[in-house]
Amino acid sequence: MNIEFDLIARYFSRPAPPGFLGVGDDCALFPVKPGYHLATSTDLLIEGRHFFADVDPAALGHKSLAVNLSDLAAMGAQPVACLLSLSLPAVDHHWLAAFAEGFYALADQSACPLIGGDTTRSVTGTVISVTVMGQVRPQEALRRSAAMVGDDIWITGTLGAADIALRLLQGKLPANPSLLANTRSALEKPLPPWTFGEYLAGVAHAGLDISDGLVQDLGHILKASRCGAEINYEALPIAPALLGLDARLIQDAVLTGGDVYQLCFTASAADRQRIMALAGRASVQLARVGQIVAEPGLRVRASDGALITVGNGGFDHFS
Ligand code: ADP
Ligand code: MG
């Protein structure tokens, strides 16, 4: 039997939900609710750039989908289905079985079934491309240009842990096994708040997922919405595993560390109670960290009002 087809049949052909046409035909087919638009996004994960070659394959399967689910959540879209394209240097059955297990576990949890993809042999390392599809009423989507002066700025989850884990694994921080143990899952198995993202549709104004660092990503909202922001540093949700580390290191990880896959969004101050109730319903940790202001630029302040200098950090693939 053809190895490619055998591989697809063995690892990536779980049945699609009723009403869907999944893996096995030239296209997958699936319905979208009346009045909704399809929200779609894609992310590449490249060995040596986005993940270490020896990373746990189950965690990698999880993360490949997670980094896409955060984009749907950031738009206020409900997950509908996903596609997985894999380019592999060789067929490693142990790796594939674990990768598929991790991928399907999160696909089941988020109700985002795998309905197709592509599988090829790569020249060098492993390349993973996932495309997600979701649904959202277009007038309710959280666009980056929708922030309004006076809006609250909110962040889900916590900040900084993934960045510290990455620095430890890269040898950029002195070895610290207990710190790595406490931060590693943030880097390797991020859990974006997809249910809460969907609840925010029609309630929040602007939103995005934090992938390249809070300062850089919030900057996208400020630019698109032609406004500025005041952030209260003490209100930022620092990951508990970072407490006790050097204050400058924490600040750097929290403000500019990437790989977070949590949401930053803005909403009217009149909707505070409603938003906190939605976060409770979705079991999501939520912090109100600042305000949208008219004066352009992002200012981070300590509790005494002093400005905190923000490094030019944030991830740039081409820097
Ligand atoms: P085609 O030749 O039409 O591109 P393929 O032979 O590449 O089709 O794929 C056969 C079927 O398997 C298609 O339905 C495709 O969507 C699906 N498929 C291929 N690779 C994957 C994968 N990694 N995950 C899920 N579905 C896959
Ligand atoms: Mg193909």
What residue ranges do the domains of the chain occupy? 3-140, 144-305
Question: CB of 218 within 8 A of CB of 144?
Answer: no
Q: Write out pLDDT tens, residues 294-317.
A: 999 999 999 899 999 886 555 666
Question: Ligand 1, residues 21, 95, 119: which to mutate, most atoms within 8 A of Cβ?
Answer: 119
Same topology between domain 3-140 and domain 144-305: no
CB atoms within 10 A of CB 149: 13
pTM for this model (two decimals): 0.95
Fold of 3-140: 60s Ribosomal Protein L30; Chain: A; (3.30.1330)
Cβ of 246 less than 6 Å from ligand 1: no
Domain 144-305 has CATH 3.90.650.10: yes
Ligand 1 atom 8: residue of nearest CA? 26
Q: Which atom from ligand 1 is nearest to the alpha carbon of 86? A: 23
Give the whole-angstrom CA distance, residue 170 versus residue 168: 5
Candidate of 14, 23, 64, 86 to mutate for ligand 1, largest count of ligand atoms within 8 Å of Cβ: 23
Nearest atom in ligand 1 to the alpha carbon of residue 118 is 20
Gap between the Cα atoms of 81 and 93, Å rounded: 25
Render pLDDT for 248-289 as a digit per residue (tens, 0 to 9).
999 999 999 999 999 999 999 999 999 999 999 999 999 999
Residues in contact with 81: Cβ distance below 8 Å, sequence separation at least 6, in sequence order: 16, 20, 28, 30, 112, 113, 114, 115, 132, 133
